[in-house]
Each structure stands twice: as C-alpha cells, then as structure tokens.
Amino acid sequence: MIYFDNASTSFPKPECVYKAINGCMTQYGANPGRSWHMMARQINQKLFETRQSIARLFSIDDPYRVVFSFNATEAIKIIYGGLLQTGDHVVVTSMEHKAMLRPLQEMERSGVSYTTVKCTRTGELDIDELRDAIKRNTKLIGMTGISNVTGTVMPIKEVGRICREKGIQFMVDASQAAGVLDIDVQAMNIDLLVASGHKSLYGMQGTGVLYVSPQAKIRPYVGRVPEEEINSWLFYERYEIGTLNAPGLVGLKAGVDFILSETPEKIRMHEQILTRRLIEGLQGIERIVLYGPLSEKKQVGILSLNIKEKTPQEVAELLDKRYKIGVRPGLHCATYAHETIGTGDMGSVRFSMGYFNTIEEVDLAIFALRNIAKS
Amino acid sequence: MIYFDNASTSFPKPECVYKAINGCMTQYGANPGRSWHMMARQINQKLFETRQSIARLFSIDDPYRVVFSFNATEAIKIIYGGLLQTGDHVVVTSMEHKAMLRPLQEMERSGVSYTTVKCTRTGELDIDELRDAIKRNTKLIGMTGISNVTGTVMPIKEVGRICREKGIQFMVDASQAAGVLDIDVQAMNIDLLVASGHKSLYGMQGTGVLYVSPQAKIRPYVGRVPEEEINSWLFYERYEIGTLNAPGLVGLKAGVDFILSETPEKIRMHEQILTRRLIEGLQGIERIVLYGPLSEKKQVGILSLNIKEKTPQEVAELLDKRYKIGVRPGLHCATYAHETIGTGDMGSVRFSMGYFNTIEEVDLAIFALRNIAKS
C-alpha cells in the first residue's frame, strides 16, 4: 500500500524505532519509577535519555521539564486543567484540532471563556485579528504549528513575540510540526509545547510529550498532594499518572534521534519537494479543487483536496481499492478548520506525506487522481 | 536476572505478545478510528478483536462496553470523574492502591466524601465493617481484587452481592487479579471493572482496560459533546481520548488469548505453588518477618516481608547486587495498606511472582534471604 496518512500517524517508522521498542520489551521491560533492581534502573535511565533527546530537539534547557503523556490530547488536557481558572480567557485559531477546542467547550461550564480567531480560506492567520482577540483576562494563546487539514505553517514566532510582550502564556500544539519545523522554545517564546509521539516524531502510538517552561505554572495532574510532598518530587512526576508506556518512550528516543541525525531541515525539504510536486501535478486538472496556500513555503507535508461531484469518502475508497493508496477522507477532527476553508459540509480528501514517501508515489497519486476526476 | 517484580509489570511477556506488537507496527501501524484505507480497517478490526478477547475473559456480554485506557490509573479517573457528584459518598478499603485513593482526596474539594474500611493486619476485609461504612448517600464501593502489597484475595463476590442488594455501584480494580482470579462481571455483580494491561494480562505498558456495565451511568470522558451527537457514537468512543496505543492493544489481545488458552485456573495454581513454597521456605527463619494471610488459598502471587534491623531498601540492594534478584522495596504506592499491616514507616520488600517464574527461582530467593538474614 502507498501510505499517505502520515498526519494520522507516521508509517513506517525508522527501523531503529521498532528495534528499540522490541529491545526494551524483551530485555529490560521493567516498570519505570517503581522499583530499584537492575532492570528498573535501566529503564529509568533510558526514559531520562528520551527526555534529553526531546529537550535537544526543541532547545529545552532542562530535560526534567519534559513530561510524558499518552498522546497530545491528554497533554492539552493537563495544561488546560492545570492552568485555567474561572474568569480566564483563551485565544485559539480556527485551524485547531478538536483536542484543543473540545476541552475549552467543556470548561465554559466552569467559567472559562475563549475566542476562536478565524483564519483565511487558505488557513493562514491574520496577526492583527489575533491581537484584536486578546482581552484583559486572556491567560493563554493556543495554536497549532502546522494545520492538520491544510498543512499551513502558522506564525509561531510572531505569536510568541506578542505573548511575551503582553505577558500571556503561549501554548503550541506541535503534533504536526515537531521534527519538521525547527522549533526552539526559547527563541519562539513557547511556554507550553505539546506533541504527539507517533506522528512526525516517529515514535509509537500511545506516546505524547509536554514541555512546561519555568514561566508556566500549572497545577499537578496527579491529584491532591501536600505541597511539601510534591516539592520533593521530580518536576515531571507531577504530571505523569500511572505506569508510562515505557517501551514506546524508548522507541520515541530512537525516533527523535533519527530526526536529530537527519536534521529537521532535511526532513522538511523532502516533504516540501513532495508537497510541491503533488500541488503542481494536480493544479489545472478539471474538477479537482485544492485547499491551502498552495505554496511549499507556506504549507508542509499535507494537501487537502476534493473532486467535484464526488464525496471525499468516494474518492478515498477509489484510491484504496483501485490504486492501493491510503488517504484520510472527512473532517479530520477539526470542524472549524473545514468551515474556514469552505469544506464544512463533507470535509476533504487529505494527502499527508512523510519522510519515507517518494516522488514516484506522489506521481502515482497524481495519475490516480487524474483518472478518478475523469471518471 | 531473576525477576520477582511482576506486580509492577509482568516480565517476560509471552512470545506471542512481542510478535503481535511488532507485526502491528511493521505491517499495519495505522491510526485506529481515523481513516478508512486498508491498513486503517485492519487495525480497527484488530482492536475490536482485543475487545472481544477481554469480554470473553471477564464474561462481558457486549464487547462495545470494553473501553481502552492507557493504564488503570486513568481508567479509575474516568470512572470517578464521570460518576461522582457533590454529595456522593464512596467506600473503599485500606488495601487500595493510591490510584484509587488519590482522586478521592482530590474530589473532597468538590464535595465528594469517602470512607476507608480498615482491613486486618493480614490485609483481609471484614464484611461487617464494610456494611457499617455504607451510608444513605453511598454511590460506589471500590475495591481491589488482590492487594498489591500482601497478595490478599479480596471477597469480590460477597461485596458484589451487598452492592446489588443495596443498589450501590461496584467497581473492582483487577490490576493484580485479572487473568489470575476467575472474574465474571455478571456472577460477581461488577458494574465497573478496571485493569492494567501490562501486569497479569501480559500486555505492554501503556495499556489499560475499563468495563462499563449497562447499569453504570458515567459521563463521557471526551468533554462536552451534544447529546444527539454522542448518542450516535460507539459506546467506547465516549471514554477514549486521542490516539490509542494501538500496537500495544494488539499485543494485549495476544496476552489475553494466552491466558484464555492456558486458563486462569492453571495460572493461579502455578502462582499458588510458588507462593506456598516461598512462604514455607521463609517461615521460621530468624529475623525474617512475613506479612499477609500466609496461606496460598488467601494470597496469590505476592509476598511482602522484612528482615529485622535492615531497611527494605538494603535488602533489595543486597538481593540485586549479590544474587541478581529483582524485587520492589518500599511503600508500593499504597500507604494505607502499609499502615494496615504495620509497615507504615518503611514499607516492605515485595516478591511478586508470575507465570514464568519457577520453583528453582523461588528456592534461590529463599537461599538468598536466609543468607541476608544471617549477615
């Protein structure tokens, strides 16, 4: 199968990831943070090394501030639950994943309010509109790094500057951007960084990452623990509940190390080449409608499209059955993003490319889409 | 290394578990529940088969009511958060893991109260004391199946009967008991069942299970979703947030199928033989203090002990360094259980045996402990 669903989860992973997970499970699969014996010490050490690799990738000073979660959705829940209180206001963009929006809808019940800044039809953010959305009680601005619907690269650095200037916490959902964009939490003034482990970081499903900067004060996720007790804990222990996905996190280190060795620049360049080729190959084909900025400088790895008179589901089924091409049809967990780009009714067919996709695969996709559009 | 830390996480796993996880990751590692292509359909189908195997193990009628979590701690959080409201009262025992107790301490802030029924010094529950703890507003009784400190088997069936009689919801934390005791949610009147995937179910870390019976009404965990929308969802979707640990859950099916094929009876019998041999081999050795019922009928797989004039940490270090035996020293995440059995100050050295431990390993442990006690 030709896999163009990397924004759901990357596939395949680098070989070193499979090997690391299997090695952990078969050789030192103890429970981290619980016991003291040789295997337990070994897994503790390995997980700390994962924190170190992640810290390196995002220019984080202190690896103890790298917290593990089970996915980005949980990490966002930890932030909202630990940071927001009655009376607080949050600004998000209309390109966010539901993982960013749904907890805010829930928290409206407890007196938290939020504003969704509508992006342009290509999924781009107007910085002035964002500025206008800021209120006296705005505590947090939350934004994705790359839209999971259009691949639009969001202006992290600019928004980070505004946040620092106004004394607002800045949270970035890097689930699509981690390992592809060059994210530097210090240079970009990111207070809270969230990422899936299993997408562009090449780890396994069931892993997520949360960075909490010294400026961000979020309450512990583990529940009510006396202050003197919690002060004696390691920083990350305040936010990690129950047994971690330890083998998965060992695999995540392998994934992040793979990125560090290839470099995010090289990965991004490859994805840009594929994106440009797909865009250029599809532009001008009758009945095919493309979404997003349609420029590989403003859009990485993802292209949403539709074929007139066909539902996204029909197109995806034809791609799957006739051409063995796997894509994702529908609303992609981001209803507002689809409203923004004008596909609120049925969604789109999303091609999401990864580092292991090739030019030949993209050309086959173009060939297949041309045929489907004609039929 | 001789691994006696199976109550933290089982090690090794059956070979079929490693194979299943690796097969999933390398062959059909798509994101479940998101896309539609061949690989996505395959992983969806596999995860449903995991639900079916778990349903079979616990005599659950409807596999759609088997919810996946990332660990038992999260599953308990889902139950408390979705079930309890201001004014509700909960009864738990003093042998519970902190995963059961800590969220209740947190919820005291929002007007939920609870009573902890103190067990005997051997970790056994006095049913009359439990009855006395029930109040007019008791909504839930929560209890472990097997104590993670003493291995004491708790009277699930009896407590289930009381719950049904009084119209109280019954939650069982089967993290130590699943796959070892014969758990039948219907015969035992269990409304809510929680289990780790990575302990006695032989799955990988980062997997947990939650069964919600038709009698148990718990609010969705995914946040605020309009009722008409959520009614169109599959039952388990209401409680699963973000991307699941899909390869881990495929491995969990292999682990549960291994149990179904070996049978919980055979597994329990093996662990009983080891437990009895360890107890008998240590009884009467000067300076060794054993905790729990000290009968393999009342205690499965776990033995806590101390050596006079040595801290649990010292004993564990000697076992690790001199004999390459891995155990867990300390408080085992269950402070009240230690207070109950009289080890509240320093905890104990815990031996926890699994299906892959042998009589020879137990004999070596006895030999090692005898030497350490003498030294």
Summarize pLDDT for B316-357 with one digit per residue, the tens: 999 999 999 999 999 878 889 999 999 999 999 999 999 999
Looking at residues A61-70, what average pLDDT do you find? 98
Helix axes B246-262, B38-57, angle to 10 degrees: 40
Q: Is the pLDDT of residue B220 over 80?
A: yes
The CATH homologous superfamily for domain A2-9+263-374 is Aspartate Aminotransferase, domain 1 (3.90.1150.10)
Q: Is the pLDDT of residue A99 over 80?
A: yes
At residue B224, the pLDDT reads 73
Looking at residues B32-50, what average pLDDT do you find? 92
Q: Is A263 on the interface with B (CB under 8 A)?
A: no
At residue B303, the pLDDT reads 97
Looking at residues B12-36, what average pLDDT do you find? 94
At residue B337, the pLDDT reads 94
Residue B195 has phi, psi (to 5 degrees) of -150, 145
Q: Is A46 on the interface with B (CB under 8 A)?
A: no
> Residue with structure tokens 């403003």?
A298
Q: Is A40 on the interface with B (CB under 8 A)?
A: yes
Q: Where are the domains of chain A?
A: 2-9+263-374, 15-261
Q: Which of A1, A4, A9 is the best substitution to test chain B (most B C-beta atoms within 10 A)?
A: A9
Strand partners, A15: none
pLDDT tens per residue, range A334-370: 889 999 999 999 999 999 999 999 999 999 999 999 9
At residue B230, the pLDDT reads 86
- Residues from chain A that touch B329, judged by Cβ atoms under 8 A, are 35-36
Do the Cβ atoms of A39 and B225 come within 8 Å? Answer: no
Looking at residues A63-81, what average pLDDT do you find? 97
Separation in Å, CA of B128 to nearest CA in chain A: 30
Among A22-36, A123-137, A280-294, B158-172, which stretch is predicted with the lowest mean pLDDT? A22-36
Q: Is B21 on the interface with A (CB under 8 A)?
A: yes
Do the Cβ atoms of B243 and A205 come within 8 Å? Answer: yes
Cβ atoms of A253 and A261 within 8 Å: the answer is no
Window 264-323 of A: residues touching B by CB (8 A cutoff) are: 313, 316-317, 319-320
C-alpha dist (Å) from residue B179 to B3, B240, B248, B307? 19, 23, 17, 31
Q: Is A38 on the interface with B (CB under 8 A)?
A: yes
pLDDT tens per residue, range A216-232: 989 988 777 788 888 88
- Residues from chain B that touch A22, judged by Cβ atoms under 8 A, are 18, 21-22
At residue B222, the pLDDT reads 76
- Mark residue A349 as left, alpha or beta (left: phi above 0; alpha: psi -120 to 50; beta: remaining): beta
CATH placement of domain A15-261: 3.40.640.10
C-alpha dist (Å) from residue B116 to A144, A199, B54? 45, 43, 30
Please list the alpha-helical segments (H only) found in chain A: 15-27, 38-57, 72-83, 98-107, 127-133, 156-166, 227-230, 246-262, 264-282, 312-323, 335-341, 359-374
Nearest by Cα to A194 from A280, A67, A313: A67
At residue B194, the pLDDT reads 98
- Residues from chain A that touch B9, judged by Cβ atoms under 8 A, are 29-31, 243
Do the Cβ atoms of B245 and A70 come within 8 Å? Answer: yes
At residue A136, the pLDDT reads 98
Looking at residues B219-247, what average pLDDT do you find? 89
A102 → closest Cβ in B103, B223, B333: B223
Q: Is A230 on the interface with B (CB under 8 A)?
A: no
Do the Cβ atoms of A25 and B244 come within 8 Å? Answer: no
Q: Is B244 on the interface with A (CB under 8 A)?
A: yes
At residue B171, the pLDDT reads 98
Do the Cβ atoms of A206 and B103 come within 8 Å? Answer: no
> Residue with structure tokens 């649990």?
B312
Q: Is the pLDDT of residue B36 over 90?
A: no
Q: Which has the higher per-residue pLDDT, A45 or A296? A: A45
Q: Which of A205, A207, A244 is the best substitution to test chain B (most B C-beta atoms within 10 A)?
A: A205
A206 → closest Cβ in B11, B70, B105: B70
At residue A222, the pLDDT reads 76
At residue A36, the pLDDT reads 81
How does residue B363 score in pLDDT terms, banded at 50, 70 and 90? very high
Q: Is the pLDDT of residue B203 over 90?
A: yes
**H or E, element range at B83:** helix B72-83
Q: Is the pLDDT of residue B223 over 80?
A: no
User: pLDDT over 90 for what percent of chain B?
Assistant: 93
At residue A33, the pLDDT reads 81
pLDDT tens per residue, range A113-135: 999 999 999 999 999 999 999 99
Do the Cβ atoms of A241 and B77 come within 8 Å? Answer: yes
At residue B33, the pLDDT reads 81
Looking at residues A310-339, what average pLDDT do you find? 94
Do the Cβ atoms of A223 and B106 come within 8 Å? Answer: yes
User: pLDDT over 70 for what percent of chain A?
Assistant: 100
Find all residues with CB under 8 Å of B331, minimum gap 6, and list them.
B338, B347
At residue A227, the pLDDT reads 82
At residue B22, the pLDDT reads 98
* Beta-carbon count within 10 A of A290 CB: 16
CA gap B245, A204 in Å, rounded: 8
Pick the residue from chain B with its C-alpha nearest to A197: B243
At residue A35, the pLDDT reads 78
At residue B35, the pLDDT reads 78
Cβ atoms of B335 and B307 within 8 Å: the answer is no
At residue B191, the pLDDT reads 98
Q: Is B352 on the interface with A (CB under 8 A)?
A: no
At residue B128, the pLDDT reads 97
Pick the residue from chain B with its C-alpha nearest to A75: B242
Residue A334 has phi, psi (to 5 degrees) of -150, 70
CA gap B244, B252 in Å, rounded: 13
CA gap B181, B116 in Å, rounded: 24
HSE on the CB side for B285, CA within 13 Å? 23
Cβ atoms of A306 and A282 within 8 Å: the answer is no
At residue A163, the pLDDT reads 98
Assign domain B2-9+264-374 to a CATH class: alpha beta
A8 → closest Cβ in B9, B31, B208: B31
A·B CB contacts under 8 A: 229
Among A44-53, A112-121, A337-346, B360-369, which stretch is predicted with the lowest mean pLDDT? A337-346
How does residue A298 score in pLDDT terms, banded at 50, 70 and 90? very high
CA gap B71, B59 in Å, rounded: 21
- Residues from chain B that touch A16, judged by Cβ atoms under 8 A, are none
Strands B192-196 and B208-212: antiparallel
CA gap B310, A126 in Å, rounded: 67
Separation in Å, CA of A346 to nearest CA in chain B: 14
